[in-house]
């Protein structure tokens, strides 16, 4: 559906934010993983036609949206990582405002869709309150509602679950799975588990480059390697994928062909393991003391 070809972007301070990005994004949910500063937001903003790349093209069903951004905007629902709202506007008024901007001018359709989205995001009861007075979670739910206005074919969501409580987070997951049947939903998040649970495809981005991209199940099949969970710190620090705590007790996830110690138990590989493996490969610190 979306074809990204040789996308490059260098900021004026010399930061190479995008390095020769090439991706084919089909319909369905696609996760974008990467550490802070990897270039995820730059890529998402570029795909949302909010900023331009220095070179490269982005084809939406064959149309280069870097040259014809309106083609993208007409089908896009976008939720940035951070956003604000106009003062003195109620939730419904602001959704109405956004609906009109998205071309939903028929009053009946407008009202129906807004009511639907308010219900979907659990904002119906506060629809007539000012958005500036919303809590963090409500603010985020408003963002999700506005992104869904107009039934976009492409949804780009940068950290959509930020500030949501577990139930709201689950509700969003359900909704995304529901709507992604015939749409492209590009999801960026630090919660790797979310991507593993929701996405069919994922791409890992580091230092402006796509270091891995494939179906999630393919990313999980690391050949001839096993993942172990142990309480003992292995001698070979390079084999440690991650260090976690459970009830205050330190636990290590270790990638090794052989059992690192007798207490180590073999566990299924997760996307997070794969992500940490890529971090280690790229020389990132994986916070193992």
Could you tell me the smallest distance in angstroms from the CB atom of residue 181 to other proteins?
A: 11
Nearer Cβ to other proteins (50/288): 50
Residue 66, class by beta-carbon neighbours within 10 Å (0-12 exposed, 13-18 middle, 19+ buried)?
A: middle
| 177 touches other proteins by CB under 8 A | no
* Cβ within 8 Å of residue 191, ≥6 positions away: 161
Q: Indicate which single residue of 146, 188, 213, 230 sits in contact with other proteins (rule: CB under 8 A).
A: 146
| 90 touches other proteins by CB under 8 A | no
| 166 touches other proteins by CB under 8 A | no
Q: Under a CB-based contact definition with an 8 Å cutoff, are residues 111 and 175 in contact?
A: no
Token digits for 216? 């999630």
| 148 touches other proteins by CB under 8 A | yes
233: DSSP letter:
P
Could you tell me the smallest distance in angstroms from the CB atom of residue 231 to other proteins?
A: 36
Q: Indicate which single residue of 5, 16, 59, 171 sits in contact with other proteins (rule: CB under 8 A).
A: 171
Which stretch, 42-50, 204-212, 219-227, 243-251, contacts other proteins (CB under 8 A)?
42-50
Instruction: Classify strands 226-230 and 249-256 as parallel, antiparallel or unpaired.
Output: antiparallel
Could you tell me the smallest distance in angstroms from the CB atom of residue 201 to other proteins?
A: 21
Q: Under a CB-based contact definition with an 8 Å cutoff, are residues 179 and 185 in contact?
A: yes
Could you tell me the smallest distance in angstroms from the CB atom of residue 277 to other proteins?
A: 33
| 63 touches other proteins by CB under 8 A | no
Residue with tokens 């408003």: 142
Beta strands in the chain (DSSP E): 2-10, 16-25, 28-33, 55-60, 63-64, 76-79, 154-158, 184-188, 201-206, 209-215, 226-230, 240-246, 249-256, 265-267
What are the strands of the beta sheet with 2-10, ordered from one edge?
16-25, 2-10, 55-60, 63-64
Would you say how long the chain is, in residues? Answer: 289
Q: Indicate which single residue of 14, 62, 87, 248 sits in contact with other proteins (rule: CB under 8 A).
A: 87
Could you tell me the smallest distance in angstroms from the CB atom of residue 197 to other proteins?
A: 19
| 66 touches other proteins by CB under 8 A | yes
How far is the CA of 208 from the CAs of 15, 23, 41, 43, 148, in angstroms?
A: 9, 13, 10, 9, 28
Contact letters (x/-) for other proteins, 98-137, by CB under 8 A? x-xxxxxxx--x--xx--xx-xx-xxxxx-----xxxxxx
| 262 touches other proteins by CB under 8 A | no
Residue 213 and residue 204: Cα distance in Å, rounded? 6
Positions in the binding site for other proteins (CB under 8 A): 45, 48-53, 66-67, 69-70, 73-74, 76, 78, 80, 82-89, 97-98, 100-106, 109, 112-113, 116-117, 119-120, 122-126, 132-139, 143, 146, 148, 150-151, 165, 167-168, 171, 175, 178-179
């Amino acid at each position: 559906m979306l074809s990204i070809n040789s996308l490059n972007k260098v900021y004026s301070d010399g930061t190479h934010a995008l390095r020769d990005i090439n991706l084919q994004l089909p319909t369905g949910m696609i996760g974008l993983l990467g550490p802070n500063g990897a270039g995820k937001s730059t890529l998402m903003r570029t795909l949302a036609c909010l900023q331009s790349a220095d070179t490269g093209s982005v084809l939406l069903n064959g149309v280069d949206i870097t040259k014809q951004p309106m083609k993208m905007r007409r089908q896009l629902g976008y939720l940035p990582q951070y956003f604000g709202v106009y003062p003195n506007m109620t939730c419904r008024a602001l959704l109405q405002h956004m609906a009109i901007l998205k071309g939903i001018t028929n009053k009946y359709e407008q009202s129906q869709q807004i009511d639907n989205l308010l219900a979907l995001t659990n904002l119906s009861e506060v629809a007539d309150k000012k958005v500036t007075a919303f809590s963090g979670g409500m603010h985020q739910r408003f963002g999700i509602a506005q992104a869904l206005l107009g039934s976009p074919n492409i949804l780009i969501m940068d950290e959509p679950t930020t500030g949501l409580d577990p139930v709201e987070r689950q509700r969003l997951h359900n909704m995304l799975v529901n709507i992604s049947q015939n749409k492209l939903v590009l999801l960026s998040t630090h919660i790797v588990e979310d991507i593993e649970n929701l996405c069919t495809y994922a791409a890992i981005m580091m230092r402006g480059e796509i270091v891995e991209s494939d179906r999630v199940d393919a990313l999980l099949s690391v050949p001839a390697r096993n993942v172990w969970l142990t309480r003992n710190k292995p001698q070979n620090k390079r084999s440690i994928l991650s260090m976690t705590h459970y009830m205050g007790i330190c636990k290590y996830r270790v990638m090794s062909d052989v059992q690192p110690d007798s207490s180590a138990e073999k566990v299924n590989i997760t996307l997070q393991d794969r992500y940490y493996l890529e971090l280690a490969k790229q020389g990132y610190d994986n916070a193992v003391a």
